[in-house]
Amino acid sequence: MADEKIPYTQYLQADGSVVGNLPEFAEDQELVLALYRHMNRARRFDTKAVAMQRTGRLPTFPPALGQEAFHVGFASAMSADDILFPTYRDGPAQMVRGVQLEELLLFTAGDERGSDFQVPRCDFPQAIPIATQTAHAVGAAYAMKLRGEKSVAVTTIGDGGSSKGDFYEAMNFAGVWQAPVIFLINNNGWAISTPRDRQSAAPTLAQKGDAVGVPGQQVDGNDVLAVYHVVSEAIAAARSGKGPALIEALTHRLTDHSTADDASRYRDADLLSEQWKEEPMIRLRTYLSNQGWWGKEDEESMLTELDQEIERAVENFEASDAPEAAAMFDYMYAELPADLMAQRAEVIAAHGHEGDGS
């Protein structure tokens, strides 16, 4: 849903045709091809992870099918020194940031070692509670401002999560402190089974920042060029001391909320069919083809390479040693309370001594 008072950005329409004047970076073949490759890797990984869950090799998985342009676009706009505060659906963005596929698989399997990613060391782990990461992002952004650093915090939330009090409180502090933080709303139209029109009466979610002095805008979340451009400009502004921004990306969820969900129970099949026509991959591939930058052989070669990369990651994940059972106690407190010390001892007694990997 758009509103004439809220800026809206789109460059690539569903059929791959160009709207208006493209930004300069759209002529950078290496950059645009990298965006396309990241999007394809995200989708191929998504497909593999869902298949692993269906065959009992992962306990659950939150797909990002249809939302690749959002994740890849904003993550590619960030610098290495910026800090990401992701949600549980931001795996594709984390891949762009340098998180390894096997690390994402470890985390999805319930192994917290997957959050100890080697790159980027300062990014936060995926937030499972809804909206708490937005407050964390503002706190970190304010700390960076006080230290005179030029880094920017970037945090994402779903359309449903934007109704949480944490989100409003975080934006309020960001506005007061003029903190260098970017709030990104991934508006795919559903908060699990609750549609957008039953979540908020606001004409747009972007205007939710008005009351707290955080400027908002919308972007076509299926257009990776638009997402990259809008987020790049917002980050540059925040880095130069111009404060926070709120960006609502309008996209579609082309599958279930998670592998524990069945969206066919609440979503109209005809609507989903129409949304598939607007998905982000086809429009970008068409643009690349029209530019003379991409062809059938390029596509086949890339997909083969990506599938091989994903299979290697799966093999490494499944060959990894199981975590120690007592590890669940070891990183919660600086000094473990007495009752948890007793429980930890019971776990060690039941599952083996520390250090044996059992």
Question: At which residue do the structure tokens 């509103």 appear?
Answer: 3
Does 253 participate in catalysis according to the annotation? yes
Does 267 participate in catalysis according to the annotation? no
Maximum CA pair distance of the chain? Answer: 67
Please give the distance of CA 230 from its chain centroid, rounded to a whole number.
16
Buried b (16+ CB within 10 A) or exposed e, 152-177: bbbbbbbbbbbbbebbbebbbbbbeb
Q: Catalytic: which of 41, 229, 253, 344?
A: 253
Query: What residues contact residue 45 under an 8 Å CB cut-off, 6+ apart?
Result: 91, 92, 95, 101, 104, 310
Does 257 participate in catalysis according to the annotation? yes
**Residue 129 structure tokens:** 């509670």
DSSP E strand stretches across 135-178: 153-158
Q: Catalytic: which of 266, 333, 351, 353?
A: 266
CA angle 48/50/55 to nearest 5° reads 95
Q: Catalytic: which of 43, 89, 257, 344?
A: 257
Q: State the catalytic residues.
A: 253, 257, 266
